[in-house]
Structure 1
Amino acid sequence: MRPRSTTARPGDSELLIGRLHTEKPFHTVREAGLTSWLLIYNLGGEGVFHHPGGVQRTKPGDAVLFPSGFARDYGATRKSSYRRFYAEFHPRAEWHELLQWPELAPSLRHLSIRTDSARHAIELTFTEAIALGLSHHPRREAFARNALEKILLWCDTENPLGKSALIDPRIRRALDHLTQHLAEPITLAALARHCGLSVSRLSWLFHHATGTSPLQYLEICRMNRARQLLRLTPNPIQDIAAEVGYADPFYFSMRFKRHTGKSPRAYRQAA
């Protein structure tokens, strides 16, 4: 049985991105010398990756990376569904920092994507990139490469060797919670409970990591989102205020003007 697949080569011979679904064991071996890199992200089931030091079995949320020049030896051994996204690509020069994942061997790198927000973002971006690659959009190649860069950036947030690893995981949880709940009332005490910290400890760690307080950061995120909505949508200002957490549109206008120097209406007219 051949694997069911959705593959897009969005006008770029150096980028191949897609999704595969197999239900029987398989084994793939590619000899050394390939100039491309290969990223495989596990959506479901178990993948098996062989390297000189042993075997790595992957579960949903795991990502593996084959650098260029090395042999590739992988597959699935169980008679069960194995679903994955993949991208074969030649990296841009500025991507190499994003590709410094923990090595199982020189020929294989591995990350476990643990947070729900990162998993959701990676899976959504892969899906969008495949759809664009299969379209006739004149900019599909640029969109696809930008989508791959976004995927690598999200992977980097889970990379213990990356810059994001310097942020306390409890503060990353706070950052995720704030950005995902802009419309909801959030108190410092509730945020501290969500992160398993005292209010004072949360405040200190958050300021140390970001240079600002949690509630100041929340307001900055709300105003950035409001700017986007004012530029890109015709929504009434009171609806935008509610969408970014302000029940009172007059108070929203006052805070918006303090951040931007303009009222929401004037900002929209100038955009």
Structure 2
Amino acid sequence: MLKIPENLCESVTLGIRLEIPITHWQEVVYLAEACKERFLTQSELPELTENEFFMAGLADLAEGYEIERVATDSHTLIFTLDGMGKLTTSQREYALLPGTLAVLPAGLPFRFELAEPGGLWKMAWVLLQDSKKWQPIAVGGQRVEHSYQCERVWSVMNLLHSEVGGRASYRKLFASELSRLLLGTTSLAPSNSQLRVQSLFNEVESQLHLNWTVKGIAERCFLSTEQLNRITRQLYGCSTQQRLIMLRMEKAVDLLCYKEWSVSMVAQRLGYQDPFNFTHRFRHYHGCSPREYRKRLFADS
């Protein structure tokens, strides 16, 4: 049984130092039949890849559960909502209590399991790609922290899971929100302005028929147009106006595959009320007119 010192708050973050450090680790995955787990995968949710998530899951655990890893290529986050888990690292043992976040950077061994064989544990886990984006979270090493984000993370992940096979625009928004929440778990998080811009461009992509302007996007992000353009260049390597054009022109290629839609209809769905303006933009971007592109497309097929 996991022993918890009287000073509970201190034990959560400091854990208990092991008398003998663990040097031998193995790959172990065990779930009792009573365990329930829902997975969020890149194959079902491509928006995870876009936001540099590797995988995630929502778990209600009972009777028996144990995961041991020698090393991983991704960073692991564990948010505890109810019950209790136990985390073991090479040097320490931690009680994973409600309202805590366990951070396990890539490349280091660990084991997490039910604190007691007959106990319960409700938690959400997230695997992050080992990338520059998540470095502020990983830089602090293996640790357990108090976190007020546990319920929010669970809720957003639950919403994201509910959109498997559903609405891409909602998945984009939920994935962006999850990214924002996780980066908010560290004081070293990058600017919220970047996350607002990224989230709004996800919305733009799902509503290209609207009359989007650089000024309007800047206002929605609570930025000046100069700040917006600077952040857009950092994120996408182009200006805000160029990003808008790119989203519309790339979507135009998809819509032109539908023979029953006229060029004028495609133009309107992309926010161009004047089909001649759309044709001019398309020709400048793709090197041919929409009609020429469609003719080549169906000639090849």
* TM-score (structure 1 length as normaliser): 0.54
Structure 1 residue 224: Cα displacement? 1.3
SS in structure 1 of the partner of residue 256 of structure 2: helix
SS in 2 for 1:247: coil
Whether the aligned pair in 2 keeps the contact of 1:5 and 1:19 (CA below 8 Å) is: yes
Aligned position for 1:148: none
Report the CA distance shift for 1:238/1:191 in structure 2 as closer, same or farther (over 3 A).
same
Partners of 1:7 and 1:19 within 8 A in 2 = yes
Q: Partner of 2:293: helix, strand, or coil?
A: helix
Q: Which residue type is aligned with residue 190 of structure 1?
A: G
Structure 1 segments unaligned to the other structure (5+ residues): 10-16, 129-150
Identical-residue share of aligned pairs (%): 19
> C-alpha distance in 1, partners of 2:93/2:126?
23
Q: CA deviation at 1:223?
A: 0.7
Q: What are the superposed Cα offsets for residues 127-164 of structure 1, whole Å, 9 maximum, x if unpaired?
A: 46xxxxxxxxxxxxxxxxxxxxxx9xx9699669xxxx
Q: CA deviation at 1:219?
A: 1.0
Pairwise CA distance, 1:262: 0.8
What does residue range 187-266 of structure 1 map to in structure 2 within 5 Å? 187-207=213-233, 210-231=236-257, 233-234=258-259, 236=261, 237-266=263-292
Q: Which deviations, in whole Å up to 9, do the C-alpha atoms of 1:144-193 show, x marking residues without a partner?
A: xxxxxxx9xx9699669xxxx87x54244224323422221122332222
Aligned-partner residue type, residue 274 of structure 2: D
Match of 2:60 in 1: 22
For residue 22 of structure 1, what is the amino acid of its counterpart? Answer: D
> Could you tell me how far 1:195 is from its partner in structure 2?
1.4
Preserved CA contact (<8 Å) 1:41 1:85: yes
Q: Which runs of 5+ in 2 are unaligned?
A: 1-32, 42-54, 166-174
1:177 paired residue number: 200
| Contact 1:103–1:109 under 8 Å retained in 2 | no
1:139 aligned residue: none
Tell me the equivalent position of 1:70: 109
Aligned 8 A contact 1:256 1:263 in 2: yes
- CA distance in structure 2 between the partners assigned to 1:230 and 1:58 by the alignment: 51
Output one character per residue of 1:190-234: Cα deviation in whole Å (capped at 9) or x when no partner: 222211123344345545665533122211111112123324x44
Contact 1:67 1:108 in 2 (8 A): no
SS at match of 1:102: helix
CA distance in 1, matches of 2:289, 2:99: 50
* RMSD, matched Cα: 5.3
Which of 212, 224, 249 lines up with 1:186 in the alignment? 212
TM-score, length-scaled by structure 2:
0.50
Residue-by-residue CA offset, 1:34-76 (whole Å, 9 max, x unaligned): 778785676x94585635385666879x896574662312458
Quick one: structure 1 residues 244 and 71, their matched pair in 2 at CA, closer, same or farther if it must change by over 3 Å? Answer: same
Tell me if 1:268 matches 2:268. Answer: no
Amino acid at match of 1:260: H
Give the distance between the partners of 1:242 and 1:262, measured in 2 at CA: 19
Match for residue 4 of structure 1 among 21, 36, 43 = 36
